[in-house]
Each structure stands twice: as structure tokens, then as C-alpha cells.
Structure 1
Amino acid sequence: MMVPAALLLLGALTAVVAPRVLARADVDREPVVALWVWQCVVAAVLLCFALSMTLSAAVAWQAVRGHVFAPAPSRVVDVYAPAGTPGTWAAATAVALAAGGLWTAAMLTREVVRTRSRRRRDRAALLERAPVLPGEAAAADGLVVLEADRPDAWWLPGPEPRLVVTTAALRRLGERELDAVRAHEKGHARARHDWLLHCSSALAGGFPRVPVFAAFRDEIHRLVELAADDSASRRHGRLAVALALVGLNEDRGVFGPTPSGGRADVPDRVHRLIAPPRRLSPFRRLGLTAAGALVPAVPLLVAFAPGLGVLHHG
């Protein structure tokens, strides 16, 4: 029972400590690397709990043990489930973690269902406001223009993705700024940021008291915007992206002393575009990427090291 308990403790410790460690890192310098590290940390936490559940079930029930350790010699089984080990705590742990896994699956399913329903409504509303007339083909670049007094632009993903831009945005933005908006939204689509947002929202909604999941949701929402800003900047320049952000948001009250609405991060994004932080060296970026990939390897090492040690010495 020692290995399942160690994995459970490692998962809990990572869930509490990792957000504090990552909060002190200067993630704004490399948002793509930061996104990767956050995903690796969350994967490590989930892997800890999944391995702890599997090994606890193997300790508690002979039938599960036969499947988990089917190809292993008996001395390996004795390391994980020594004779005389009480199965009550192992069974309780396995059932609790299995319930958490089912709850996670239910939250992800709910998020997918809600997203699909919302997209169907958005597409129906878009078709009602901007219908495709008989004999008229949809724009090859997926651009849809809506009549509106407020400048706005957003990406509508799906089988036929669309970039929706209002007429007020067309009047306010120049050609280069409009191209920057398009590149920003396509950056989201290429990187599949929508899936990251859905997964983070599902985990945080399902386990609101787990620090790593709440921080993951908050940071992902911010980092995907920074990553898309950088993607658009590489093609159209930082100034064009900054001007586009200002043009689309200056009427929303986000640039005052007390930013309002859901876009309070826009002033920071504009400042970052105008005065960009110094990027990390390629060697440093590679090192952080490799370090992030190693984080999920830690629970695997904890889980398999005792058995491999027995095989090696045997």
C-alpha cells in the first residue's frame, strides 16, 4: 500500500505547490512554453491519481491484481501487495479515486455538450443575421461581416470556421489591423486553444477546491490570448496587433482606472505588445520544454521503480 499512498501524496502535493511555483515564473515571456508546462503539470496530477487508483484496486481485489500484474513474477506482486496487507483502506481509496475519475469524465462530457449546443445557437443566430442568399457562395476566407454599431470580431469554430467582423470594426480598423485580428483568431484555431479552454473549465468546475485546476483555468484563458497575440505579431507586427486591440476595446471601459467587463487583461496585453519582454534564449526554451515533459514521468517513476528494482536485483 506504500506505492499508492506515495502517488496520492505526490498528486496532492503537486496540486498545491505547482500553482505557487508557476505563479513566480515570468510566463509572459514565453506563453507557448508556459502553456506546455501547465498541461504537463495537470497531466502529472491526473496521472498520480489514476496510478494510485489502479494500484489500490490491485491491492484490494484479487481479480484486479491478476489483470494488473498478469505478466509479472510473484516477487514483483509482493512489493505492491504484500501478504497480510489490509484491503479496507485500499478499497476505499480505489473507490474514491474511481468516483473522482467518473466525475471528471462527466464534467468533460457536460462541457462538450454545452459547447456544441452553444455553437449551434451561434451559427443559427449568425445565419439569421447574415443569411447566404440563393446563388451566393460563402466567402472563401470564412469572413462574415455583420451590421453593428460596436466594433467587434470573433472566431466561430466548427466544420466551416468563420471569422465574424462587425461593420463598426471595419470602419475603425485599418487593413493591417484587420489582418492582425484575423491572424490572432486563426492562431487560436491552429493551436486548438478552444479544447484547452474546455478542459480547464471542466476540471475547475468539477473540482473548484483543487488549486492546480483553478489556477490552470485562469492561466490558460490568459496565456492563449498572449500566444495568439505573438502569433499575429510575427506576421503583422506588434503595433498592428496593439492598435487592433485598442480599436476593438476602447469603447468597453477597459482602459480606465478600474477596468470593467470580461476583458480586464486587454491593457496589459497592449502594454506587452508595445514594450515586449525580452524572450528567453532558444536553449532556455528547449530546457523548459524538456523539463515540462519530465514532470509526468515522475509519477511513472514512483509507480514502476519498486517493481523494476526487484527485477533488477532478482
Structure 2
Amino acid sequence: MMVPAVLLVLGVLTALVAPRLLARADWTDREPVVALWVWQCVVAAVLLCFGLSMVLSASAAWSAVRGRVFAGAPHGVADAYGLGEGGTWAAGTALVLALGGVWTAAMLTGEVLRARAGRRYRRAELRERAPLLPGERPAAGDLVILEAPRPDAWWLAGTDPRLVVSTGALRRLKGRQLDAVLAHEQGHATARHDWLLHCAGALAGGFPQVPVFAAFRAEMHRLVELAADDVASRRFGRLTVALALVELNEDKGVFGPGAAPQSHVPERVRRLLAAQPRLTAFRRLRLTAAAALVPAVPLLVAFAPGLSALG
């Protein structure tokens, strides 16, 4: 019965320690794509710890579950886990973790449904404000010009995606700045950043007291913007992207002493102008490989008794 407890403790420690370690890392702004991967691996490891602990705790509490979980296992594997000694503690742990899993699924479903409803509303508003011409047949990814004095641009995701730019943005953006903004938004679409934000929002909304999920949501909102900035910068240059960000946001109160604390725009502009060099390819590969090993740890802990029994 030690394995479910070890997995539970490992999940809690990862949820507490990982955000602090990543907050101290000095490379995340230079390599936002790698940082996104690391965060996903950390969160996957936490969820794996709790999920595997739930399965093994349920196996310890109820012989029917144990029979199904170890149905195809060779002789002696189930005995190696010592699951017959679980008792009430195992049943309570399994039920709590199962409720957490159901709650996570419910929160993710709600997040997706809210996002779909929001897209339907924005799409209907877009059709009203920028109606199609007679005989016009829009294609996915088409650029839509919206009559609005405020400079803005965004990607409307979904089954029929649209790239929307306001006339205010067209008047403000000069030279290749508009192309840079469009490349930024297309970077979001290509990497499917909307799904990352949905998952992060569901976990943080469902478990607001868990530090790793709250930090995951905050970092996802920041890192996806940095990653999209880099996509645009590689095509049009960092200075062009920085100037486009200033033109789009200087009237929104994000610069100067009364700036909204949740806005990352000033940080993004400073990062683009600083033009720090990327990490070496070897270090990027090393960080990527090390992050991939993080979810492997709970799998190793869960399967170690069975593998030792087979050996």
C-alpha cells in the first residue's frame, strides 16, 4: 500500500515546489516555447501522480477494481503492490481523488462550452458589424476589417476561424507593423494556444488553492504572448513588433504609472527591444528532454513494484 501514498506525496510536492523553481529560472523569457513545454510536463506529472494514486488506492480498497486493473498482469504482479492492506484509508483516498477527477472534467467541459458560447456571440456580432457582401463566400482564416476607432486585432478561433483587424489599427500601424501583428495572431492559431489557455483556466478555476495550477494559468497567458511575439519577430524583426505593440496599446493605459498590473505589454516591449540571444540548441534540447522525464517519474514509481516482480 506504499505506492499510492508515495504517488500522492510526490504529486503534492511537485505542485508546491515546481512553481517556485520555474519562477527562479532565468531562461523562460528567452525560450517561451520551451517554457510552455516544461509547464505542460509539470502539470501532466501532477495529474499523473493523482490519477495513478487514485487507481491503486481503489484497487487496494475494492477487490473488484483490483481484479480489473491487474486482469492481464502476470502472476505475482498484484501481490508485489501489497494492495490488500488498504482498508478505509485507501477507500477514502480513492473517492476524494475520483471526485477531483470528475470536478476537473466538469471544469474543463464548462470552460470549453463558455469559450464556444463566447465565440458564437463574437461571430454573430462580427456578422452584424461587418456583413458579407451579396454572393461572398468566406473561407477559414480570412481577414475581416472591422469599422472601429480603437486599434485592435485578434484571432477568432473555432471551426470557422477569422483574423479580425479594426480600421483604427489600420490607421495606426505603419509599414510592416500590420504584417507583424497578423503574424503574431497567426502564431497563436498555429500553435493552438487557445487550448492551452482553456486547460489552464479549467485547472486554476477548479482548484484555486493549488499553487501549480494558479501559476500555470498565469504563465500560460504570459508565455503564449511571448511565443507569438517571437514568431512575428523572426519574420519582421523585433523592433517592428515592439513598435506595433506600442501603437496598438498606447491608448489602453498599459504604459506609465497607472498601468494595469495584469498587463504584460510593457514587459513584452522591453523584452523585444533588449533582444537577448536565444539559448544554445544543446541547452534547449537538454531542457526539453529533462522536462519530458518529469511525467516519467510517477510512471516509474507506479510500475516499479510490478517490474521488480517480473524481474
Q: Smaller-chain TM-score range?
A: over 0.9
In the alignment, the residues of structure 2 paired with residue 44 and residue 171 of structure 1 have an alpha-carbon distance, to the nearest angstrom, of 47
Does residue 277 of the first structure (1) align with residue 276 of the second (2)?
Answer: yes
**Which moves more between the two structures, 303-312 or 95-104?**
303-312
Kept in 2: contact 1:40–1:292 (CA 8 A): yes
Quote the offset at 1:175 in angstroms. 3.5
CA apart distance, 1:294: 0.5
SS in 2 for 1:133: coil
Alpha-carbon RMSD across the aligned residues, in angstroms, is: 1.4
Task: Give the whole-Å Cα distance in 1 for the aligned partners of 2:86 and 2:261.
Answer: 55
| 1:85-100 matches, cutoff 5 A | 85-100=85-100
Provide the residue aligned with 2:103 in structure 1: 103
For the Cα contact (< 8 Å) 2:57–2:86, is it kept in 1? no
The 3-state SS of whatever aligns with 1:64 is: helix
Tell me how far apart the structure 2 counterparts of residues 201 and 160 of structure 1 sit (CA, whole Å).
Answer: 23
| 1:265 CA drift (Å) | 1.1
1:172: Cα distance to partner?
Answer: 0.8
- Where do residues 282-293 of structure 1 align in structure 2 (5 Å cutoff)? 282-293=281-292
Separation in 1, partners of 2:86, 2:209:
30
TM-score, length basis structure 1: 0.96
Letter in 1 for 2:235: R
The answer as to whether partners of 1:252 and 1:260 remain within 8 angstroms in 2 is no
Aligned ranges 1:21-60 → 2 under 5 Å: 21-26=21-26, 27-60=28-61
Alpha-carbon distance between aligned partners in 1 of 2:140 and 2:212, rounded to the nearest angstrom: 42
Unaligned runs of 5+ residues in structure 1 are none
Give structure 2 stretches of 5+ with no counterpart. none
Q: Partners in 1 of 2:106 and 2:57 — Cα distance?
A: 23
TM-score, length-normalised on structure 2?
A: 0.97
Q: What is aligned with 1:234? A: 234
Q: Would you say the 8 A contact 2:188–2:194 is kept in 1?
A: yes
Superposition pairs for residues 77-226 of structure 1, below 5 Å?
A: 77-81=78-82, 83=84, 85-138=85-138, 142-226=142-226
What amino acid maps onto 2:34 in structure 1? V
Secondary structure of 2:176 counterpart: helix
Number of the residue aligned with 2:250: 250
Residue 164 of structure 1: SS of its match in structure 2?
strand
Displacement after TM superposition at 1:74 (Å): 4.3
- Cα distance in 2 for partners of 1:86, 1:256 equals 59
May I ask how many residue pairs the two structures share in their alignment? 310
Q: Is the 8 A contact 2:140 2:162 kept in 1?
A: no
Could you tell me how far apart the structure 1 residues matched to 2:35 and 2:77 are?
Answer: 38
SS of alignment partner, residue 154 of structure 1:
strand
